[in-house]
Homo-oligomer: A and B are copies of this chain.
Amino acid sequence: MADMTTLATARPLALDPDRLLPVEPRTREIARRLYAAVAGLPIISPHGHVPPQWLAEDVAFSDPTSLLVSPDHYVFRLLHARGVALDELGVGGRPLTAAESRRAWHLLAQHWPAFRGTPSRFWMDSVLADVFGVTERLAPESADAIYDRVAEAIAAPDFRPRALMERFGIDILATTDDPVDDLHHHRTLRDDGFRRRVVPTFRPDRYLEPARADFADLMTDLSRASGVDTGTYRGYLAALEERRRFFKANGAVSSDHSHADVVTLTLDENEAARIYDAALRGVVCSGDATAFRRHMLVEMARMSTEDGLVMTLHPGVHRNHHSPTLERFGPDTGHDIPTTVEFTRGLQPLLDRFGTAEGFQLILFTLDETVLSREIAPLAGFYPSVYAGAPWWFLDAPEAVRRFRGAVTETAGFYRTSGFIDDTRAFLSIPARHDMSRRLDSGYLAQLVAEHRLDEDEALETVIDLVSTIPRKAFKL
Name A residues whose Cβ lies closer than 8 Å to a Cβ of B.
Answer: 11, 15-16, 18-21, 23-24, 26-27, 77-78, 80-83, 113-119, 121-122, 137, 318, 321-325, 334-335, 337-340, 342, 344-345, 348, 351-352, 355-356, 367-370, 373-375, 377-384, 386, 394-395, 397-400, 403, 405-407, 409-416, 447-448, 450-455, 457-458, 461-462
CA separation between A406 and B398, bound complex, in Å?
9
Q: Which residue of B lies closest to A122 (CB)?
A: B453
CA separation between A127 and B241, bound complex, in Å?
51
Q: How far is the CB of A249 from chain B (nearest CB, A)?
A: 28
**Given that A116-B414, A122-B453, A322-B352 are known contacts, is A374 also in contact with B381, CB under 8 Å in the complex?**
no
Interface centre among A77, A113, A410, A452 (most CB of B within 10 A): A410
Chain B contacts of A18 at CB under 8 A?
452
**Other A-B pairs, 17, CB within 8 Å; known A23-B27, A370-B374, A403-B406:** A23-B26, A81-B384, A81-B416, A82-B415, A113-B458, A113-B461, A114-B413, A116-B448, A122-B453, A137-B455, A337-B379, A338-B374, A339-B342, A340-B342, A340-B374, A367-B374, A394-B411
CA separation between A379 and B335, bound complex, in Å?
8
Q: How far is the CB of A227 from chain B (nearest CB, A)?
A: 37
**Given that A415-B113, A453-B117 are known contacts, is A399 also in contact with B394, CB under 8 Å in the complex?**
no
**Given that A122-B453, A378-B394, A462-B116 are known contacts, is A406 also in contact with B399, CB under 8 Å in the complex?**
yes
Q: Which of B321, B369, B411, B458 contacts A344 (CB 8 A)?
A: B321
**Given that A411-B118, A451-B19 are known contacts, is A374 also in contact with B113, CB under 8 Å in the complex?**
no
Q: How far is the CB of A291 from chain B (nearest CB, A)?
A: 21
Q: Which of B322, B342, B384, B454 contacts A117 (CB 8 A)?
A: B454
CA separation between A196 and B326, bound complex, in Å?
46
- Copies of the protein in its oligomer: 3
CA separation between A338 and B373, bound complex, in Å?
9
Chain B contacts of A118 at CB under 8 A?
409-413
The answer to whether B345 touches A117, judged by C-beta atoms less than 8 angstroms apart, is no
The answer to whether B352 touches A382, judged by C-beta atoms less than 8 angstroms apart, is no
Chain B contacts of A344 at CB under 8 A?
318, 321, 337-339
The answer to whether A345 touches B352, judged by C-beta atoms less than 8 angstroms apart, is no
Chain B contacts of A399 at CB under 8 A?
406-407, 409-410
Q: How far is the CB of A384 from chain B (nearest CB, A)?
A: 5
**Given that A19-B453, A113-B461 are known contacts, is A410 also in contact with B400, CB under 8 Å in the complex?**
yes
- 9 nearest A-B pairs in the assembled complex, by CB-CB distance: A397-B410, A16-B452, A19-B452, A117-B409, A23-B450, A399-B406, A337-B344, A338-B374, A77-B382
CA separation between A335 and B383, bound complex, in Å?
8
Chain B contacts of A447 at CB under 8 A?
23
The answer to whether B397 touches A81, judged by C-beta atoms less than 8 angstroms apart, is no
The answer to whether A356 touches B324, judged by C-beta atoms less than 8 angstroms apart, is yes
The answer to whether A20 touches B113, judged by C-beta atoms less than 8 angstroms apart, is no
Q: Which residue of B lies closest to A321 (CB)?
A: B348
Q: Which of B24, B78, B352, B384 contacts A381 (CB 8 A)?
A: B78
